[in-house]
């Protein structure tokens, strides 16, 4: 599981629960809904616990884990699904990272946009 400093959201297949960090309530509801779908579908497909968060540099990290006794957890499928999410949701994920870096890490938006080639 990747180490994250701040959890944005996650889902737990064992407890059939979804969590969204209320510190991020200002993220548009449509994005919150999309994150909800991503997390729940992930755990429905491969099982275990799935989290999306930010590391100390503001980059998005995905975490997956399973209980030791969970023999149905699909570790290979989890890795493939994370890659698929990164590929298909690249713009949204980049926007979330920029949001976190500007709002929470207080980085200069103009500098970040230049870094991402948006200027």
β-pair partners for 65: 49
**Structure letter (DSSP) for residue 13:** T
Both tokens of 15, joined, read 């407890």
Confidence of residue 1 (pLDDT cuts 50, 70, 90): very low
Non-local CB neighbours of 19 within 8 Å, separated by 6+ positions? 7, 9, 10, 11, 12
**Residue 107 above 80 pLDDT?**
yes
Model pTM above 0.75: yes
Look at 70 and 96; give whichever has higher pLDDT. 96
């Amino acid at each position: 599981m990747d180490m994250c400093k701040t959890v944005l959201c996650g889902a737990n297949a064992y407890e059939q629960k979804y969590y969204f960090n209320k510190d991020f309530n200002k993220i548009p509801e449509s994005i919150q809904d999309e994150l909800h779908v991503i997390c729940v579908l992930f755990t429905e497909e491969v099982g275990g616990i799935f989290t999306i968060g930010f590391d100390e540099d503001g980059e998005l990290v995905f975490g997956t884990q399973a209980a030791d006794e969970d023999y149905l957890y699909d570790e290979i499928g989890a890795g493939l699904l994370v890659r698929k999410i990164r590929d298909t949701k690249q713009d949204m994920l980049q926007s979330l990272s920029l949001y976190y870096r500007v709002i929470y890490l207080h980085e200069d938006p103009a500098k970040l946009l230049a870094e991402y080639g948006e200027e």
